[in-house]
Structure 1
Amino acid sequence: MSGQHMSAEIAEQPAVFASIVDRQAQIAEVAAKLAERRPRFALLAARGSSDHAALYAKYLVEVLLELPAGLASASTTTLYGAKPDLSDVLFLTVSQSGGSPDLIETTEAARARGALTVAVTNNPSSGLNSVAELSIDIGAGVENAVAATKTYTATLLSLYLLIDSVRGGQGQAAAPLAALAAEALSTTESAVDDAVARYRYVERMVTTGRGYSSASAAEGALKLAETSYLAARAYSGADLLHGPVAAIDADTGVVAVTSAGKGGEAMRDVVNTVRQRGADVLAVGSAAADMPASSRIVLPPCAEEVAPILEILPLQRLALGLSLARGGDPDNPRGLSKVTRTR
């Protein structure tokens, strides 16, 4: 049956979260080594869904650790042969498979240039783990669907626990996530079905969020594009108002990720402006009930820095539902494979 793997793997996420939280002490051991080295800034390398996890980690590093952070461009090493001095730099590589040649080569090169390299993967025997100095196994289990669901959220949670531990935290904000995820999946099913019916025939969608939720907007757009073949674009709420909003009209479906906190509050004017353009706006998140949207998927409240771990759940289900409604097979999107090898 089409979509059975993706559906099952979405449903597994509360149990995956509980397992990761139980392994917080193991992640804290890696974090202690990072804290000892006192990096002066962080670089994050990733592709695909993992790139969105890296974007989330960038916010965590900048806000929770107050260190500058940036997203590394693998091609500067693999194609152009650049050799920057990376002494005292944390180089964090995020890859579900740990098998992409460009990420392996970039991580190996970063270590040779003085960086403290850390691999975050779902494959502890991967080539990436073999070249990184330290590694974290996200422990999501085998993922059969091509579209990443449980591996994505497991990566987010592992990154949160790592970075929180570096600052001396105990992962308190993560403790309730398994229960909150189960609640989110059980209470939003009807709202997701309604959203599938609203957007079944739309061809153009925009996803948007601010702060931590920028990662959710990016991952939501990718899920819609790769499973339903929609022309889906993600923008920061701020960037959306700086130009792309001009392309939004009544034929555009807009998903606004709006969880309680500074990022969600900054989205209020964005949602208002987009609604005035005539777009159908779906607000998703713990602050969705208070947004001037066309429809809403309301999630249980949690600490803002872990909200992306919950926000993506209904967006995964929306992508699944739209793919099936449009006659697709979200387990096997056309032209895609589980491991993409780039250089």
Structure 2
Amino acid sequence: MTTTTLKGATKMAQEANEAPARAAAQLQLNADLVRAAGERLRELAPPFAATLARGSSDQAAAFAKFLLETYAGVPTLSHAPSVGSLYQATSSRFAGVPLIAISQSGGSPDLIAAAEDAKRQGALVIAIVNVVDSPLAERADIVIPVHAGSETSVAATKSFVCTLVALAHLVAEWSQDAGLLAALGTIGDVLHNAADADWTQAVPLLRDADDMLVLGRGPTLPIAGEAALKLKETSSLHAEAFSSAEVAHGPMTLVGEGDPVLVLAPLDVARTGLRERLEDFAARGARVIAAGLPEDIAAAQLVLPMRTDVHPAAGAIAQIQSFYALAEALSLARGRNPDSPPHLNKVTRTL
């Protein structure tokens, strides 16, 4: 397959480039709503929280889990949609528990059914959606719009970035964490800077790859998951995401001479041990492509530009903003159309 689409002219690129401004506007538009939601959740003081999502939204849910557990001190589980949609077996222990349902469209039947089942058990359903008049939003107790605007490319970009910002906003207001609250005030600038960072220099190292690993840890593990998903969707490249700690427990044996490894390094304590891990990969002859603190990624064959003087959560969101331009360029270089990957639809109607 060949394509005549010019780099930067695809819907994927255009929509990804909207994300910084959309995210900054979202924070202003949602300020009162999210402040009130945070107060309500503090008063509720639930024993745990749960997320409900699929696809890219499930990677956003993993980011929410990280934030809730590390900043709000709230244990968080991933609620499998089929438990509610197929089995209708949501536990009565969900009574008084916030269920954060994440969906760009708010139209996936299984998420709607699972949210309904949880609500029957007394869960507080919080919908994080782009489409505010969607069926999922109609069933929610609290609706937090991500304000990404219309998104037509099958490969979600700005809606994912805006969802991460909305989740960080919710957790910041819930936890009243001063650092996270302050980081939100600079997120627009951080994302604009990330959009300008050129990660497309990695295309020659990835153009002919058949498979690869994408590594993250802590706040960047969900970002690695989203990056791996996008590489599958837009480039038909078999990419798998792993924790930089977990990769040593087996997957490391898959990496050898010339194999590409994309590393999205965290800016917090999760960077522990990363330098040694990348030195291991380099010694095996792997092509390590990395973004992070210079001292952590010195063994990389290619260092990707990113700001490192930012809050770790903001840094993680910035990495996916920068990555989308790489994904788009790689897709085109491999002769594919990132706006319309084969066999995929914008709204996945899983039952």
Q: TM-score range by the shorter chain?
A: over 0.9
- Residue 256 of structure 1 corresponds to 263
Identity over aligned pairs, percent: 35
- Residue 40 of structure 2 corresponds to 33
The question of 1:310 aligning with 2:318 is answered yes
- Paired with 2:273 and 2:305, the residues of 1 have a C-alpha distance of 17
- Paired with 1:57 and 1:269, the residues of 2 have a C-alpha distance of 28
Counterpart amino acid of 2:123? A
Q: Structure 1's 88 and 288: CA in aligned 2 closer, same or farther, altered over 3 A?
A: farther
Q: How does 1:189-338 map to 2 (within 5 A)?
A: 189=198, 192-285=199-292, 287-288=293-294, 290-291=296-297, 292-301=299-308, 302-338=310-346
Task: Name the stretch that deviates more: 225-234 or 169-178.
Answer: 169-178
- Residue 149 of structure 2 corresponds to 141
Q: Which residue of 112, 115, 127 maps to 1:107?
A: 115
* 1:51-93 CA-partner distances (Å, limit 9, x unpaired): 0000000001101111111111111222233131112211111
- Paired with 2:143 and 2:263, the residues of 1 have a C-alpha distance of 34
The question of 1:46 aligning with 2:53 is answered yes
Per-residue deviation at 1:290? 4.0
- Paired with 2:215 and 2:202, the residues of 1 have a C-alpha distance of 16
The question of 1:163 aligning with 2:151 is answered no
Task: Name the stretch that deviates more: 68-77 or 96-105.
Answer: 68-77
Q: Which residue of 150, 159, 169 maps to 2:158?
A: 150
- Paired with 2:185 and 2:273, the residues of 1 have a C-alpha distance of 27
Per-residue deviation at 1:125? 0.3
Per-residue deviation at 1:288? 4.7
Per-residue deviation at 1:109? 0.8
* 1:144-197 CA-partner distances (Å, limit 9, x unpaired): 1110100001000000000110112472111111112212222x22xx232012
Per-residue deviation at 1:205? 1.2
Q: Which residue of 53, 61, 65 maps to 2:68?
A: 61
- Residue 98 of structure 2 corresponds to 90
Counterpart amino acid of 1:136? I
- Residue 185 of structure 1 corresponds to 195
The question of 1:71 aligning with 2:78 is answered yes
Gaps of 5+ in 1: none
Q: Is the 8 A contact 1:288 1:298 kept in 2?
A: no
Per-residue deviation at 1:268? 2.3
- Residue 8 of structure 1 corresponds to 14
- Paired with 2:286 and 2:231, the residues of 1 have a C-alpha distance of 18
- Paired with 2:229 and 2:141, the residues of 1 have a C-alpha distance of 31
Gaps of 5+ in 2: none
* SS of residue matched to 1:8: helix
* 1:268-292 CA-partner distances (Å, limit 9, x unpaired): 232222222221011123x156412
- Residue 120 of structure 1 corresponds to 128
- Residue 182 of structure 2 corresponds to 172
Per-residue deviation at 1:238? 1.6
* 1:92-128 CA-partner distances (Å, limit 9, x unpaired): 1111111111110111111110111100000100000
Q: Is the 8 A contact 2:85 2:111 kept in 1?
A: no
Q: Structure 1's 288 and 313: CA in aligned 2 closer, same or farther, altered over 3 A?
A: farther
TM-score (norm 2): 0.93
* SS of residue matched to 1:298: coil
- Paired with 2:319 and 2:70, the residues of 1 have a C-alpha distance of 19
- Paired with 1:182 and 1:289, the residues of 2 have a C-alpha distance of 25
Counterpart amino acid of 1:120? I
